Structure 1
Amino acid sequence: MTKQQIWEWFANHSKQILDFLLFLALVSMGAFVKILKQVRQGAKASWKWFLAEAIVSFFVALLVYGFFDQFMQTSTLFTYVVCAWCGSFSTIFHKRMEDLLGAIFDKLKQLISEKKSL
């Protein structure tokens, strides 16, 4: 590719590139807020932990983006802000999911125990 072709590609896709950069910036800020909050609560910060928290935040933000953008068709900026907010609270979603799965498995264990005792 020549320089001219690269510049044309950027010119043709400038809106998508700016949207992606805005999404990245807002979700990064949400992940940063989440990480700061956890460090203040006593979490031990390491690169592995930081990377894991960032990945989970971005994953949750992408799920929220898909829902708000594709199904609810809200404005782009509002969608990105909700993505950042949900990404920063991804630990809460994770804990609630663990609670839900734990309850399901406990109920299955109880049902199996009841079937065996009959």
Structure 2
Amino acid sequence: MKNLIDFFKAIPDQLLEILFFAFFVLMGSVYKMMKQKEHGAKITAARFVVEAFMSFFIASIVYGFIDQFFHFNRMFTFAICSFSGSVSSTFHAKLEEFLIALFDGAKFKVNQYLKITKDEQ
């Protein structure tokens, strides 16, 4: 057992952090796939890889935000990343709605500005 502890102590902290992050996010992906299987979805390796990739993408965004602004404990941050990765479909849909609303608002303001400048001429 002492050799295993020495092994983990010898790993650089950054690499250990990446490994923990990957482990937590993969466990979130496994949880997501198990929930989908309960609802009757067919589980394939390709589907798992796609879900894992999407979970890593969402979890890395959440990790960057939480680590930058909140400075929580690393394991708590990884747990939040795992949760966000497991609900990445919902997160992705809400992010898409937000971006659509943002760009629609910008488009409206630009059109309003162009109409005002056109009327002034």
- Name the TM-score, length of structure 1 as normaliser: 0.69
Unaligned 5+ residue runs, structure 1?
1-9, 109-118
* Post-superposition CA distance 1:4-43 (Å, at most 9, x none): xxxxxx94x6211211111111111111100110111111
**Separation of aligned partners in 1, 2:93 and 2:53:** 16
Unaligned 5+ residue runs, structure 2?
1-8, 108-121
**Separation of aligned partners in 1, 2:100 and 2:77:** 31
**Separation of aligned partners in 1, 2:103 and 2:61:** 25
1:84 maps to 82
Do the aligned partners of residues 106 and 44 (structure 1) sit closer, same or farther apart at CA in structure 2, a change above 3 Å counting? farther
**Separation of aligned partners in 2, 1:49 and 1:79:** 26
- 24-33 or 43-52, which deviates more: 43-52
2:33 maps to 35
2:18 maps to 20
1:47 maps to 45
- Name the TM-score, length of structure 2 as normaliser: 0.68
1:57 maps to 55
1:115 maps to none
For 1:22, give the aligned amino acid.
F
From 85, 93, 96, the equivalent of 1:95 is 93
Do the aligned partners of residues 76 and 106 (structure 1) sit closer, same or farther apart at CA in structure 2, a change above 3 Å counting? closer
Length, aligned pairs only: 100
1:113 maps to none
CA RMSD of aligned residues (A): 2.6
Secondary structure at the aligned position of 1:32 is classed as helix
